[in-house]
Structure 1
Amino acid sequence: MILDLLFPNRCLGCNRIIDADLLVCELCFQQIDFTHFNYFDDHFIKEKCRLLFPVAHTFALMQFKKENLSRKIIHELKYKSREKAGKILAEWTSERLEFKDEKPDLLISVPLHPKKLKERGYNQLHIFTEQLSEFYEIPFDHHLIKRNYYSKAQALKDKQHRLETENTFSITRAISGKHVLIIDDVFTTGNTLATIAWEILNAGNNKVSVLVIAADI
């Protein structure tokens, strides 16, 4: 209570004091660039993914543009230890994503290298994934895919380095006959998702779908 008085929670959009469990105020919430993509429809994300790997379905919650509010929200999630942001983003996703009769068998998120995990203190996608798992009653596995190399933040890499993802990830156990939903925070080139997808596809008779919190479109 004292900390709330000394350091009140403020809206990421307008800096107004807001409830401790919120990211933005009601007015700024209306300014968020939600994509309104349908999981089953053809759209930009699915078209980009299909150029790189066979994908069943795709979904992006928000648009990721220069200086927009979704960029600030992702930054809070990734770099400022705002773990509650993962729960709120999962709630927003559950209000907009319907799997119908094609619910995935397993949820996985893009892993951090152990060194990066130690530096950051948590994987920003774990809480998001776990909240979705609880809501949709789909199991998750944080260890199916491992990151083989430590590297600097994706946001700090130039375009050429972003393309150099070969052998970055590997699969840790046998898996076959499963529909796996791969979860990432921001979709840019799609190469990270492609590398993970091929590990899963090559492991057995599996199929993959993609969910990203924001897409650079």
Structure 2
Amino acid sequence: MFLDVLFPNRCLACNKIIENNLIACNVCFEKIQFTHFDYFEENILKEICKTLFPVENAYALIQFEKESLSRKIIHELKYKNREKTGEILANWITERVDFKNEKPDLIVSIPLHTKKLKERGYNQLHLFAETLSEFYKIPFDHEVILRNHYSKAQALKDKKHRLSTENIFSINKNISGKHVLLVDDVFTTGNTIATVAWEILKTGDNKVSVLVMAIDK
């Protein structure tokens, strides 16, 4: 309570003091560029994924555009110690996505390398995935995939290095006959998600759908 007085929660766009469970005031919320995708219908994310690996369904919540509030939200989550933002984004998804009778069996998040996890102090996807898991009643497992190599942030890499994902990930648990919902923060080239998806697909009679916070397209 005392810290809330000294350091009140502020809107990421206009700096107005807002409630602790918000990231933007009511006025600035309208600036967030939602995709309005349908999880079950064709969209640009699904189209790109289909060129990289067999995908069932795909959904992105917001557009990751330059100098946008949407971009700032993701950067605050990843680099400014605002892990709680992952929960807020998950709640926005629950308001927009209904899995109906085709609910995935397992939620798997893209892992950080242990060194990166120690540096950041948290995986920005864990609270996000756990919030989705609680709402949809879908189990999550953060240990299905391992990241084998430490690498600098995607945002700091040039395009050539972003395209190189060979041997970065490996399967850590054998899963079979599962429809896996693979979650990540930002979809750019799709190579990271594709690499993880193939690890899941090659271990058994599995299926993969994709859900990301933002798409950079």
Q: Normalising TM by the smaller chain, what interval?
A: over 0.9
C-alpha distance in 2, partners of 1:113/1:178? 25
1:152 and 2:148 correspond: no
Distance in 2 (alpha carbons) for counterparts of 1:94 and 1:128:
11
- Give 1:22 shift: 1.1
Offset of residue 65 of structure 1: 0.1
Aligned residue for 1:111, secondary structure, equals: coil
Q: Residue 59 of structure 1 aligns with which residue?
A: 59
Q: Which moved more, 1:127-136 or 1:167-176?
A: 167-176
State the secondary structure of the residue aligned to 1:51: helix
Following TM superposition, the consecutive aligned residue runs of length 4 or more in structure 1 with deviations greater than 4 angstroms are none
TM-score of the superposed pair, with normalisation by structure 1: 0.99
Q: Percent identity?
A: 69
**Does residue 6 of structure 1 match 2:6?**
yes
Q: Please tell me the residue identity of whatever aligns with 1:41.
A: E
Q: How far is the alpha carbon of 1:64 from its aligned partner?
A: 0.5
Query: What is the CA deviation profile of residues 35-75 of structure 1, one whole-angstrom value per residue up to 9, with x for unaligned ones?
Result: 01000111100110111100000000000100111101001
Distance (Å, rounded) in 1 between the aligned partners of 2:184 and 2:142 = 13
| Whole-Å separation in 2 of the counterparts to 1:89 and 1:11 | 15
3-state DSSP of counterpart to 1:212: strand
2:193 & 2:83 partners in 1: Cα distance?
23
2:185 paired with 1:185: yes
Deviations 1:68-127 (A, max 9, x none): 111010011101111110111110010001111110000011000000000000000000
Residue 30 of structure 1 deviates from its aligned partner by 1.2
SS in 2 for 1:182: strand
Aligned to 1:87: 87
One-letter amino acid of the structure 1 residue matched with residue 203 of structure 2: A
1:20 positional shift: 1.7
Secondary structure of the residue aligned to 2:132 is: helix
Alignment partner, residue 121 of structure 1: 121
SS of residue paired to 2:52 = coil
Gaps in structure 1 of 5+ consecutive residues: none
CA distance in 2, matches of 1:25, 1:184: 25
CA distance in 2, matches of 1:5, 1:136: 35
* Residues 90-101 of structure 1: pairs in structure 2 closer than 5 A: 90-101=90-101
Partner of 1:206: 206
Offset at residue 2 of structure 1 (A): 2.3
- How many angstroms apart in 1 are the aligned matches of 2:2 and 2:101? 48
- Report how far residue 166 of structure 1 moved: 1.2
Deviation at 1:13, TM superposition (A): 1.1
